Amino acid sequence: MTQETILITGGCRSGKSRQALTLARDFPGRKLYLATAEPLDEEMKERIRRHQSERDDEWTTVEEPVRVAEVLQREGRSEGVIVVDCLTLWISNLLRNDLAPEAVLERVRTLAAAGRTASALIVITNEVGAGIVPENELARKFRDLAGEANQILASRFDRVVHMVSGIPVFLKGGGEPAGPSPQETPRPHEFPPAHKQGVYEAIYRRRDMRHFTRTPIDPEVLGRILDAAHHAGSVGFMQPWNFLVIDDAEIKRKVARNFKKANETAARKFRGDRQELYRSLKLEGIEQSPINLCVTCDRSRAGPHVLGRDTVPETDLFSTCCAVQNLWLAARAEGLAVGWVSILSPEQLKKDLGVPEHVEPVAYLCLGHTESFDPKPLLESRGWAARLPLDRLIFYNRWNGEAENFTVQLPRAKPES
């Protein structure tokens, strides 16, 4: 898939940059992000910071507002992928440097030619001509140039993707959504590519978060998230869960005291650098998050004999964990952060929340908005642990069994951690 060129276009905040990162996962080798924006004011600095937070440490960022084609010619000789973000800002920068329109378009043609290197090239641009006619000459010149530049790249690039409200519409060359490769003939019951991509995005971008803003949670959004949790699979359809929604500051303080005591006990179990690293980790956001949720399991629900539970009694607890996972993925799709606080005394938690004896707290969750989601899990980025290679965790037919007639085909490129 090297030497492929992809143009991603669309309106403002339509998901172009996120789609570029998604498509870039499919390409082996190094990953270079060529940013054309100049931080001329505080608002632009904040935009740049938010974009940078979406990229993990496998990306190298090069900031170049003018000499974009030259950077491609220099950096595109090795296998990998280069993302240019974005063509529209680059054109604006060239105009501010007093280049004539034809000189700007010639730079665009040079960029298109530079894309035919060892590296794959993904260029992000904007559709600027769908609104009203601009009122001044410079704005009209910019609009026309941007439209012509888009046409040049669209005609020469292998694939063109138009983003509409976060959904990719593949205009040229087909699409490869995150997750399974598209089939020529859809399989029965298969989701459309954009829907599949949303599922995989939620899975790969879910994080156990600790940092929250004070922005309130929309009650309707929380209702959708809880409804998703309530539609989890459960053994014998017993639906053993309850959801305690907590916004009372005093109750949060009690739970925070519970955490602090349990956390100090846990910290003393480590020694030296390991203990120092443990104490540096932020492991809860109980009082910071606007909403806490305690997800419980009522082990008496549906009576003593539940279809499918007699042989494995813990399946009611497993079912509740499925509800928590549904909740977590739905929250990520809604843009909400979730953190699971497990360093607690369950007995004290039951006392503080008035949970009956026969009901078990399974998950204490912090919910809220966040400034940005971590590119990688916290414990991975801080060096506490690394993700295990999936191919070492798959056996065939028996423990440690080797593949014989059937072999799982893992994705060519690892998704985000």
Distance CA 1, CA 228 (A): 37
| 218 and 291 inside one domain | yes
Distance CA 252, CA 286 (A): 6
- Residue 41: band (very low, low, confident or very high) from pLDDT cuts 50, 70, 90: low
Q: Which amino acid is at 176?
A: E
- pTM given for the model: 0.60
pLDDT of 182 > 60? The answer is no
Q: For residues 208 and 378, is the Cβ–Cβ distance under 8 A? A: yes
- Residue 167: band (very low, low, confident or very high) from pLDDT cuts 50, 70, 90: confident
Tell me, what's the pLDDT at 145? Answer: 86
| 148 and 252 inside one domain | no
- Residue 417: band (very low, low, confident or very high) from pLDDT cuts 50, 70, 90: very low
Residue 196 lies in a domain: no
Burial bucket for residue 334 (CB in 10 Å: 0-12, 13-18, 19+): middle
Domain range enclosing 57: 5-177
Within 13 Å, how many C-alpha atoms sit on residue 102's CB side? 0
CA angle 86, 8, 411 (to 5 degrees): 115
Q: For residues 158 and 5, is the Cβ–Cβ distance under 8 A? A: yes
pLDDT of 312 > 50? The answer is yes
The pLDDT of 377-393, averaged and rounded, is 92
The residues, any chain, with a CB within 8 Å of residue 405's CB and separated by 6 or more, are none
| 212 and 97 inside one domain | no
Q: Which residue has the tokens 């009372």?
A: 248
The residues, any chain, with a CB within 8 Å of residue 180's CB and separated by 6 or more, are 196
Residue 188 lies in a domain: no
| 218 and 293 inside one domain | yes
Q: For residues 246 and 293, is the Cβ–Cβ distance under 8 A? A: yes
| 233 and 375 inside one domain | yes
Distance CA 8, CA 123 (A): 6
- Residue 115: band (very low, low, confident or very high) from pLDDT cuts 50, 70, 90: low
| 162 and 213 inside one domain | no
| 163 and 214 inside one domain | no
Question: In the chain, how many domains are there?
Answer: 2
Kindly report the number of other CB atoms within 10 A of residue 158's CB atom.
16
Average pLDDT, the chain: 87
Residue 338 lies in a domain: yes
The pLDDT of 129-153, averaged and rounded, is 78
Residue 410 lies in a domain: no
